[in-house]
A and B are shown apart, each in its own frame.
Chain A
């Protein structure tokens, strides 16, 4: 008799764990092989739990040496490369052609390597020593914003996710991502990659569900510092903008074609950074000048 395949249960990813949605709800997703996956229809409460996890992970992650963050991002790329075949298959089940699937996975890996390199480099480009007129040593450095909520690109199963998570965490932020509603399975498999790449629990949290239901919660939470929407729904953006004003969240609309090689760069990191300026006095004795 033919062996029966074991099917995977797609859960969500919060604080390094893989719970089911607390709501117990699901939405069915039909794959190309005619199998149906019951995807978690995450609730406001799931999101709130994810924010707690992200906030908890922030102090540790942002305090990591930039170089260490770079190594961890590179590790994610290594893990993804090793599980390439699994993603190719999953993308096919979501309707990608083999060629499109290959491109999606390879670009995702390269993008992770690209941002791994930025972890300890953007600071040198965007910091400054400011030549103030008084006797002060005055310098400005970027610092991560904090917890970032992301509504990922609906049209892309993996690359859209990677392209927003990578710059957010490269810069020391932690995040909660709502995966593509119509292509959610890859996001949970990608969570497994993250979970095995030395990324501390809570730095990346991924939930699946309805953007219509969750966008207002994503934008109204008082302990979230920034929100990124990668989609175009005009009325959602209005709500998001209004809700963001509750605690002056930074709002970004990154509605991009992520498969374009140009849609990567340090400005995706600096969007999610604050600038901190420090003043320090310079003693002014011994002013005889420098002779040598």
Chain B
């Protein structure tokens, strides 16, 4: 049989989308933000401020206070005071009402929050509007309901709050991570000191305003901004009962070591290098969409990104061709444009790291393929990238890049792919694409990962527990299981 000439998609230049930027004139931002301690915005002890910039334009948006040890201490004192005097004594159902209020206020101000999230972090407005902000509101709404139902969640136990929770969150989903941390902590009766990442403090500070508006008693939630040492100071603070951290595995290991021998309870949500596995019987077109979403969602700044693709050999050619075609259609550019698929890389530092990995990939002998799209001259951008002919030993197949870079390997048997998928220190998530239900359940039981998506990818819900195996951390966020890290029995 003669080999059919493969059809190629043509992308005409006159098919360009007209610009469709989201308006920014309705948002309220201040020139300078202070620390949110004990219900008030207060100046940092250091007197220092740092710039937060728009990574798509490199222009300054606002100044953010740099906290020091003294500020951390006063935030912890405020949280302890609120815990002892008010929050731990308040009937659970009344506690719930405050959390419901916060959820409602986020819903009401959703548009403003999503624009600020995109301005400050570089993610596309489509994602901040449709995913980050609604999920953040829903997370508060969901956990609000648990506040007065904890005895049903843990029958025959007597669930009690821990005290003051110190929470450190990353820059990839700033508001959503704040919600994931604060909502369950409050629902279980703890008070909070939260530190957002230094490149993305704004939505956390807007959340502080919302918390003020909600009438939540002073000191129940404190939000302090700054760089790494602020987080370290929280981790080492003697009067914190619980540390919750989302971020890199390196820092996670440091925290675990730092609190060794103390009574602090810990949850870690760390890095990942998820295997996205395509079998030959998979619905290929959907699978290709799933791979694209799996790795290019949020510029690949996702701890559970499907950054390792395993394609069964018999369909590899077809899948890779379709992936390349689809890559060409991705719109990279202005994050505020509603048609943009891939926005700006969060920071110069992260851009450098990604570019470094691209070099490593090439030097290790993998074949790089990038979209031919143009990228803006100003701001931090990178073309969506595939690496073909990678092997298990390549650094781009082993290390978390945290960018729009996909390492592709092929496999023949199910044993082989299970072995390869699991042979990595990480274990946060995985994807399986096959038409065969029985194979999905085989794979979900064999893959050593905290979340397995079958014929879908990057799905999140407040009711669904999320968290890792192995060096991807421990503890779960979301659902009933997400209550446990904030309780003692």
Contact = CB atoms under 8 A, between A and B. Distances in A.
A260 to B, nearest CB: 15
Given A282-B438, A286-B414, A70 B480 contact: no
A231 to B, nearest CB: 28
Contact of A71 (B141, B442, B470): B141
Interface residues of A, number: 30
Interface of B: 93, 96-97, 100, 138, 141-142, 144-149, 152-153, 413-415, 418-419, 422-424, 436-439, 441-442, 445-446, 448, 462-463, 470, 479-480
A120 interface: yes
Given A121-B149, A283-B439, A291 B419 contact: yes
Interface in A262-287: 265-266, 280-286
A292 B141 contact: no
A118 interface: yes
A21 B467 CA distance: 56
B145 A283 contact: no
Contacts of A121: 145-146, 149, 463, 480
17 contacts: A67-B142, A113-B100, A114-B148, A116-B145, A117-B144, A117-B147, A119-B145, A121-B480, A283-B436, A283-B439, A283-B441, A286-B415, A290-B418, A290-B446, A292-B422, A292-B448, A292-B470
A280 B437 contact: yes
Nearest to B148: A114
A225 B226 CA distance: 59
Given A113-B93, A117-B149, A125 B480 contact: yes
A282 B93 contact: no
A18 to B, nearest CB: 29
B480 to A, nearest CB: 5
Nearest to B107: A71
A124 B463 contact: yes
Contact of A124 (B144, B147, B423, B479): B479
A74 interface: yes
A281 B436 CA distance: 10
Contacts of B448: 290, 292
Interface in A81-136: 110, 113-114, 116-121, 124-125
A33 interface: no
Contacts of A125: 152-153, 480
Contact of A137 (B100, B152, B441, B479): B441
A137 B423 CA distance: 25
A288 interface: yes
Given A71-B141, A286-B442, 15 more contacts: A67-B138, A70-B141, A113-B93, A120-B142, A120-B145, A121-B146, A124-B463, A124-B480, A125-B153, A265-B152, A280-B438, A281-B438, A288-B418, A288-B419, A290-B418
Given A124-B463, A125-B152, A280-B437, A117 B146 contact: yes
A291 B427 CA distance: 13
A130 to B, nearest CB: 13
Interface in A46-64: none
Given A281-B438, A282-B438, A282-B442, A290 B463 contact: no
Contacts of B144: 117
B415 A117 contact: no
Contacts of A290: 418, 422, 446, 448
Interface of A: 66-67, 70-71, 74, 110, 113-114, 116-121, 124-125, 137, 265-266, 280-286, 288, 290-292
A68 B289 CA distance: 28
Q: From A265, A281, A283, A284, name the one whose CB has the most chain B CB atoms within 10 angstroms.
A: A283
Contacts of B93: 110, 113-114
B463 A283 contact: no
A286 B413 contact: yes
A160 B441 CA distance: 46
A282 B414 contact: no
Contacts of B480: 121, 124-125
Contacts of B413: 286
A118 B100 contact: no
The 4 closest A-B pairs by CB, nearest first: A117-B145, A286-B414, A283-B438, A283-B442
A179 to B, nearest CB: 26
A42 to B, nearest CB: 35
A286 B418 contact: yes
Given A67-B462, A284-B442, A117 B418 contact: no
A113 B93 CA distance: 9
B152 A266 contact: yes
Q: From A66, A71, A284, name the one whose CB has the most chain B CB atoms within 10 angstroms.
A: A71
A288 B415 contact: yes
Contacts of A74: 100, 141
Contacts of A266: 149, 152
A265 B150 CA distance: 12
A133 to B, nearest CB: 15
B446 A286 contact: yes
Nearest to B145: A117
A136 to B, nearest CB: 8
A282 B438 CA distance: 4
A292 B97 CA distance: 45
Contacts of B153: 125
Contacts of B422: 290-292
Contacts of B479: 124
Contacts of A283: 436, 438-439, 441-442
Contact of B96 (A71, A117, A281): A117
A110 B93 CA distance: 8
A136 B422 CA distance: 23
Contacts of A117: 96, 144-149
Nearest to B415: A286
A114 B146 CA distance: 9
Contacts of B445: 282
